[in-house]
Amino acid sequence: MSSSPRVLVTGATGYVGGRLVPRLLDAGHPVRVAVRSPQKLQQVPWRERVEVHETDLADLEGMTAACRDVHTLYYLVHSMGGSQHFEEQEAGMARTVAAAAERAGVRRIVYLSGLHPEGVELSQHMRSRVQVGRILLESPVPAVVLQAGTVIGSGSASFEMIRHLGDTLPVMPAPSWVTNRIEPIAIRDVLHYLVGAMDLPEGLNRTFDIGSRDVLTYADAMRQYARVAGLRRRFVFHLPLPAPRLSGFWIGLVTPIPLGLALPLVQSLQHDAVSAEHDIDAYLPPPAGGLTGYRRAVALALKKIEDNSVETTWDHRPEAAADPLPSDPDWAGRTVFVDERSRTGRARPEQVWRVIESIGGRNGWYSLPLAWRVRGAVDKLVGGAGLNRGRRDAVDLQVGEHVDWWRVEALEEGHRLLLHAEMKAPGRAWLELSVEPEGEGSRYRQRAIFFPRGLPGRLYWWGVWPFHGFIFPSMARNILATAAALDEPGPGAPRRAAERIAPTAGPPRA
């Protein structure tokens, strides 16, 4: 039985929380996680090492139960706003969690907030984060609020924005905010301070600024990214206009970040984000080897992408998966359109499954790439996810993570993959891919399922139906052909198939 204090992590399925949990475990702490849907953690690698408590953060009784026998509560929940009452909801949830922590006798709350200047009008996103920090600091439970700037790490929203802008645009006319100063921090250093917060003195109640001490402008960050990535020199020049909404739209168009997230991200860049103090040094030593500079943080992030070893991404939301696909009998009485294909091949089921699980991202969709790119560009123009979100890992999937404009809704290892569409469309859509043994080979099945919303939904389906006649048959054919080539004799055949499934030529380009 461990003698280390028990910790409770909220937001354990998010970008930071998903990386923090295994590090707390490795440090010897018993870890409990509070989640709404425990089944969404089934494929997380550390699932069997933690205690899972099912509750909603707005449920006082449920959170009080989750906080029992807990020394430190990590509050790592923050959305980017999606409702008219976003700030009130965030504040209300923070008050509920703080009240539950007091009831249960929690000794400390740790919250990750953002660097911001004092005495200026902050964006709604940053204002909400500051307000949550203030609520926690004013609660009876001592709180440590770590304030970080731009987080650089494989899969982080800030890094993906810099990466895709740098990869895509050799010349970037940009608004005036690109001249603002930022102090990036590597995700590994953020995690160092979060884990180290367990060792801070009892009763400490204050904010700490954390950063790399590597201060540069946002324009410099994009130029330095290009150098580290081996790209030609990037020219960034600013226009004398802040233009946050226009910037958010442009970033939503050319990066994987959707408009709903790009806009608050850009709004948070309207002011300098630099540490005002380094008091954390008196309490916690820097990581072994020192803080990670910006260029090294970029290099480490690119290496993670190249090695297919990205742990979490900004858009990995197992708890926010879409509504489950109704079972076939439940379709009775409603309009549903289905495009179903079935095909047999000589490839073994496990070979076909390797191709199914690796679909999307750099591996593509095995049919008419131009048609998929055009549809992705249209989706981006109307505010959807588009194709350039890619995927966390080229060969491994987990429930809840994105694959281009799809979300993994169900995964039966070796048999079935269910993707829910997050593209902009007048209805709800799924793509189901499955394989089963047949004779000495296998039978591959795919279903495109669409629940139209009114007349626009019906018109949409019949408008894209002719294209399905080209895309889906070739998709089934090519998936089976790629699977069969995994064992195909002859020079170069297995390698070509393997590279199709797991390319290793370097980080993906937008």
- pLDDT (tens digit, 9 = 90+) per residue, 409-445? 888 999 999 999 988 889 989 999 999 999 999 999 9
pLDDT of residue 320: 38
Q: Tell me the C-alpha distance between 88 and 268, whole Å.
A: 19
Q: Tell me the C-alpha distance between 209 and 77, whole Å.
A: 19
- pLDDT (tens digit, 9 = 90+) per residue, 480-503? 999 999 865 554 444 455 455 554
pLDDT of residue 38: 83
- Report which of 419, 403, 415, 468 is spatially closest to residue 445, judged by C-alpha positions: 415
- pLDDT (tens digit, 9 = 90+) per residue, 193-247? 999 999 999 999 999 999 999 999 989 998 999 999 998 888 887 777 666 667 6
Residue for token pair 């005002």: 276
Q: How many CB atoms lie within 10 A of CB 46?
A: 17
pLDDT of residue 307: 75
pLDDT of residue 251: 73
The answer on pLDDT for 349 being more than 70 is yes
The answer on pLDDT for 169 being more than 50 is yes
R_g of the chain computed on alpha carbons: 24
pLDDT mean over 382-389: 75
Range of weakest confidence among 292-306, 368-382, 486-500: 486-500
- ∠ CA 326-332-338, nearest 5°, is 65
pLDDT of residue 164: 81
Q: Which amino acid is at 276?
A: A
- pLDDT (tens digit, 9 = 90+) per residue, 113-148? 999 998 888 888 889 999 999 999 999 999 999 999
Domains of the chain, earliest start first: 7-306 (3.40.50.720), 326-501 (3.30.530.20)
**Helices (H), ranges, 169-258:** 187-196, 218-228, 244-254
Mean pLDDT taken over the chain? 85
Furthest-apart CA pair in the chain: how many Å? 72
Range of weakest confidence among 65-79, 328-342, 345-359, 461-475: 328-342
Whether the model clears a pTM of 0.85, i.e. scores above it, the answer is no
Buried b (16+ CB within 10 A) or exposed e, 214-246: bbbbbbbbbbbbbebbeeeebebebeeebbbee
3-state helix, strand, coil in the chain (%, to 5): 40, 20, 40
